A and B are shown apart, each in its own frame.
Chain A
Amino acid sequence: MGAGISEKTVAETAEERISYLRAGHTLRSWFFTTDHKRIALLYLVSVTFFFFIGGAAAALMRADLLTPEGDLLSNEGYNRAFTLHGVIMVWFFLIPSIPNVFGNFLLPLMIGARDLAFPRLNLISWYVYMVGGLFTVFILITGGVDTGWTFYTPLSSMFANGNVVLAATAIFVVGFSSIMTGLNFIVTVHTLRAPGMTWGRLPLFVWSHYATSIILVLATPVLTISLVLIAAERLFGIGIFDPALGGDPLLYQHLFWFYSHPAVYIMVLPALGVTSELVAAAARKPVFGYWFVAASSIAIALVGFLVWGHHMFVSGQSMYASAVFSFLSLVVAVPSGIKVYNWTATLYKGHISLDPPFLFAMGFIGLFVVGGLTGLILAMLAVDVHVHDTYFVVAHFHYIMVGGTVSAFFGALHYWWPKITGRHYSIVWGSLSAVFIFLGFNLTFFPQFLLGYLGMPRRYHVYDPGFQVLHVLSSAGATILGVAYLLPFAYLFYSLRNGEPAGPNPWGATGLEWTVASPPPKHNFETIPVVTRPPYDYEIEQESDAG
């Protein structure tokens, strides 16, 4: 059998060297591909599409909030806009963005594998995602749903207008896509690591995707069952949540948050993994405390399952339960703190190069810290009762989810773009957009902390005129942010034709993905590499340069 393989290698060498982008030009070769890199690009196009739909809904809301009267949208229309925004952003952008685009593209390359363990499952998962996504957009635009992305019962199960069951079905469907991806990643990391790629040599990006996948596989089914139960209640009157039918509304909140708190880590853990890579590459040093950073991903994944009750402080759960959840929520902040500390230590005395990926990483760290600290404030029982369901909460989760995850997404895009496309983009424009995203973001969401603190409730669009100034500031920031998000489109597209060829390792980084050509050949590695060095061995490289 060994002989068979080597013959095949010889025969295919020339063909295998062709980059994955050039290996086939037909539509068929894209839509029926099982190559993880092509599937990653399919995802890149799709998540970008959904990001713009979600963004359009946000723009609509910010425009409506410019004035204290509800003059642009009706109450119902406003409810539908924020539901559309939340549903699309959470399930069709934030959750799949980094894992399904960059995880898909990089995981096999980083561990020295030719593909994911189940390539066809990977393709199916994209189709499932697209079906769920297009269906959702269709429903939300035609009929609309007014429950918010949390589908709280009994509103969603008995009273809500619109297509709750159809929307729940779409999210049910996309859940399967998440589970398939998570399963594929875990199996790949376990079975397809190249010789010498021990667990201690895995890039931190891989560790964080491994942790994310655990959550995807274990938490998503709980969401699935909650959606099944909502549908059963709405369609057949099988009351699980509606008190009039013998149900219990708190049960829904428990099930939902048992998924959705861990889900916030599905969104942010991959971002933490990206940041570790960017920080190491920018500082040209090994990540300080490798094992702590790796283990903290796993710790976040596990403890994240125990804190859901902090979303239910004012829901009528018992006071003792609230106190326990409050304490556990403070515990889960520790591993996140470890990461920030270790990045700082890595950057300390590093030879830092100020290029766009690094600027995005810095933006990420800043926004993540603000989001995390305000999370601690919210986790304190007494304070949360004051700011619960105000704009303070809105600002908190946008700092984490948008400031954090979206910044990291852009960071990843700018760091691995030369690898994916083989081209450089304009460093000046890249840096400018990193700075504008950071500024625009803060101008948009910082005023919302103040609004919340002053008592502006979330999900209202008719408000006390006293809040107007802060709302106008926020809308102005959103405009800057919107433009800043559009900028990369221009120069990245431009680079596709006109960028300088990047070469295999434009940042002088370590990691197996930088040892293959840019863009990588169809089968990644001609022969599976043998790993002999620890991850992030920048110092060794410098020593040998000097010597």
Chain B
Amino acid sequence: MREPFSTAAQQREADMLGMYLFLASEVLLFGGLFAGALTYRILYPEAVVAASARLHVWIGAANTALLLTSSLLVALAVQAADCGLRRPAAALLSGAAGLGFGFLVLKAVEYTKEIHQGLLPGFGGRFDFSSPVEQLFMNLYLVGTGLHAAHMTVGIAILAGLAWRIGRRSLPLPERAVTVAVCGLYWHLVDIVWVFLYPVLYLAR
């Protein structure tokens, strides 16, 4: 137990609440981008639809599937940690990190294609959109997915680190199960953000 707490339950409550608040602030970080994208979808439907139609919707769908699966693995890992099942917890977390890595690889492939097709602004080369709204949409797409990918990277590092620590018993289970739960929440958030990004960007057609 840490310094200001007098019971383990109190500390657990504090850790969970702290994480929920942090996640609320993360949601608002993306919230500004969502609000912008939605506003332009409503104000200029044709241009936004035209831009969105050129995104690689199937790569996005595959990525959605990867992320949802990894979220499931994390949820199972949290259960396992609660029951003190060390090996399954570590395995599930590694699996989730692996799927997350797969997501990033696919995303990189997608960005490369987009750069070749002149869809992405800001990379020198040719940029294939004429109307400013289409351009703005692609800018929002780039910042939104880029920021998400940055969060993914952090998340993967966290999951892999957890798996490693559980594996070498430096994170005793089930005593420190709350750490797994708190990190799991972070991963679910990254997942949820994508579940919103995907329709707002790819399915706006």
- Give residues in A with beta carbon < 8 Å to B: 5, 34, 108, 113-119, 179, 182-184, 186-188, 190-192, 217-222, 224-226, 228-229, 232, 236-240, 243, 245-248, 251, 255, 258, 528
Measured CA separation A232–B121 after assembly (Å): 11
B4 contacts A108, C-beta separation under 8 Å: yes
With both chains docked as a complex, state the minimum distance between the C-beta of B119 and any C-beta of chain A, in angstroms.
13
Evaluate contact between A183 and B136: CB separation under 8 angstroms: no
From B18, B32, B136, give the contact of A246 (CB < 8 A): B136
| B191 at the binding interface (Cβ < 8 Å) | no
Classify the secondary structure of B's interface with A. Answer: helix
Scan residues 136-178 of chain B and give those whose CB is less than 8 A from a CB of chain A. Answer: 136, 138-140, 142-143, 147
Partner of A187, one of B18, B28, B31: B18
Q: Is B196 an interface residue (CB 8 A)?
A: no
Contacts of A117 in B (CB 8 A): 4-5, 14, 18
Shortest CB–CB separation between residue B194 and chain A, in angstroms?
17
Residue from B4, B5, B18, B24 whose CB has the most chain A CB atoms within 10 Å:
B4
**A interface majority secondary structure:** helix
Pairwise interchain contact B143-A187, C-beta atoms closer than 8 A = no
Tell me if A246 and B142 are in contact (CB < 8 A).
no
A537 to chain B, nearest CB (A): 26
Closest to B130 in A: A246
A236-B122, A246-B129 provided; 14 other pairs, C-beta below 8 A?
A113-B4, A118-B14, A183-B18, A183-B25, A187-B18, A188-B14, A228-B147, A232-B143, A238-B121, A240-B143, A246-B134, A246-B136, A248-B136, A255-B36
Contacts of A182 in B (CB 8 A): 21
Cα–Cα distance between A541 and B71 once the two chains are bound (Å): 57
Instruction: Flag if A238 contacts B122 (CB, 8 Å).
Output: yes
Considering the complex, give the chain A residue whose CB is closest to the CB of B29.
A221
Check A245–B135 contact: CB distance below 8 A.
yes
A217 to B4, CA, bound (A): 22
Q: Which chain B residues border A187 with CB–CB below 8 Å? A: 14, 17-18, 21
Contact sample, A vs B, 11 pairs, CB 8 Å cutoff: A108-B4, A119-B2, A119-B3, A182-B21, A186-B17, A191-B10, A191-B17, A225-B32, A229-B143, A237-B122, A245-B135
Q: Are B32 and A258 in contact (CB under 8 A)?
A: yes
- Which B residues between 85 and 128 are near A, CB-CB below 8 angstroms? 121-122
Q: With A240-B136, A528-B6 in contact, is A228–B143 under 8 Å at CB?
A: yes
Q: How far is the CB of A243 from chain B (nearest CB, A)?
A: 7
Find the B residue at minimum CB distance from A121: B18
State whether B139 touches A239 (Cβ < 8 A).
yes
A116 CA to B32 CA in the complex, in Å?
31
| B133 proximal to A (CB < 8 A) | yes
